[in-house]
Chains A and B, each alone.
Chain A
Amino acid sequence: MPATDTLSSAASSASASPAEAAKPNVFSEMFGGLGNHHVVDVMPFGEIPLPYIFFDQGSLHVFGSAESLKESGVYTTNTDKQFDPLGTIASSPLAEKGSVVRIDHKPTGLDLSITSNLFFFGLAAFMMVIVLRIAASKAKKSLVPSGIRNLVEVLIVFVRDDIVAPNVAEPYGSVLLPYFLTIFFLVLFANLTGLLPWAHTPTSSIEITAALAVCTFVITQFIGLWTMGIKTFLLHLTAGLLEMEVSPFMKGFLLLIMVPIEIMGLFTKPFALAIRLFANMTAGHIVIFSLIGLVFLFHSVFVGAFVTVPFALFVYFLEIFVATLQAYIFTILSALFIGMMAHTAHEEHVQDHDLPHPPNGDHLVATAHG
């Protein structure tokens, strides 16, 4: 089946041969658009090429576009899924076509290319910094909030009082507050970037959500190790079985089951975090694409006018809600996971030194300003 480049040519091939062969083509072409690309497609005005960067056999190769990549005589782009037995940059199942291979069939080395997802992730981070700097400069000028500062302040206070304060015990709550604020605003801006025209959703790539989840994972384990010490941390992995009053045989048997489960539990939490954000951000786009695909399935303008446009608009507005909700979910689950570690440590800390237990939430609210 010949791979067509744009939606319009896929549509014309569908109308030319109304057989069943053309139908999955439209959908797979559109779903291919969800993947990671080396161009930014600004539809009626052509494409903006993004640089290819490879760190290969001790030297850095930089190419401005796919054409200069092919002219180099070292690399070529992959147009066929089967022709890629060795090195591939495709790490997502959605983006195998167009991956880069060496002509001599050696592995391509370290791929540092600025792909579309990375480009829009950088754009989201840049916009985040601009918006927050404007809000901060307004805060320096006067005490009375105005303009964008109102919105930013509401969100920051929400993260501090409703996400971090109830979940993370106090000394760590205010220490880690900048991390939670960063991850909240970064995920929020990245999610909303995907709703701009021509933009990709950076968080609909598993690599970026996995990187965010790894940050939470590292902080969770670091907090656990730092507050509990290595001995208590390892005891924590036995789920308290060592202190239980059971026969040694039973204890050994249960440890054999529980320790792998507890160790797996450490990794499933950030894994679920990454998959949740990725799938949520991808799912909305797939629904919109499927609704647009109905037009090509039914070969009808009326379906487009009365089914696709209203429903796609509805899903689009739903996606604005989901983008905000997922930023909240990602932050609150990070806070829960980190808070569980900090809290376990905190209780033992109290037992050791007989300190009074500060009330979880109110304490942070009172002192976080200071």
Chain B
Amino acid sequence: MNPSGLAFLGAGVGAGIAVLGAGQGIGKLVASAIESQARQPEMAGGLRTTMIIGAALIEGIALFALVICIILATK
């Protein structure tokens, strides 16, 4: 196995782990948001905005990992 093969392996495994984390994060976030909306439907608008901002932040972290994976995969 040559070093660039290891880079491809690292990119693939890294993308997988990053997606796991982001998936769990967004899952928890949306679950809590839906629960709150069901309890207090009048808060739905504000909760949705906060939820989307939170999802964007989590997604941003996942995409940082993705950018590193891209750099590894285009080595």
Name A's B-contacting residues (CB within 8 A): 24, 27-28, 31, 93-94, 162, 166, 272, 275-276, 278-280, 282-283, 286, 325, 328-329, 332-333, 336
Name B's A-contacting residues (CB within 8 A): 8, 49, 52-53, 56-57, 59-60, 63-64, 66-67, 70-71, 73-74
**Cβ–Cβ < 8 Å partners of B71 in chain A:** 93
A239 to B53, CA, bound (A): 24
- A332 in contact with B59 (CB, 8 Å): no
- A280 in contact with B64 (CB, 8 Å): no
- A283 in contact with B63 (CB, 8 Å): yes
**Cβ–Cβ < 8 Å partners of B63 in chain A:** 275-276, 279-280, 283
A73 to B29, CA, bound (A): 59
Q: In the A-B complex, list the 9 residue pairs whose CB atoms are closest, starting with the nearest.
A: A279-B63, A276-B60, A329-B56, A279-B67, A93-B71, A272-B60, A279-B66, A31-B74, A93-B74
Closest chain B CB from A269 CB (angstroms):
11
- A275 in contact with B60 (CB, 8 Å): yes
Closest chain B CB from A362 CB (angstroms):
14
CB nearest neighbor in B for A276: B60
Closest chain B CB from A123 CB (angstroms):
25
- B74 in contact with A275 (CB, 8 Å): no
- B53 in contact with A333 (CB, 8 Å): yes
Closest chain A CB from B54 CB (angstroms):
11
**Cβ–Cβ < 8 Å partners of B64 in chain A:** 275, 279
**Cβ–Cβ < 8 Å partners of A24 in chain B:** 8
- A282 in contact with B70 (CB, 8 Å): yes
Closest chain A CB from B19 CB (angstroms):
11
A276 to B49, CA, bound (A): 18
Closest chain B CB from A71 CB (angstroms):
31
A44 to B64, CA, bound (A): 36
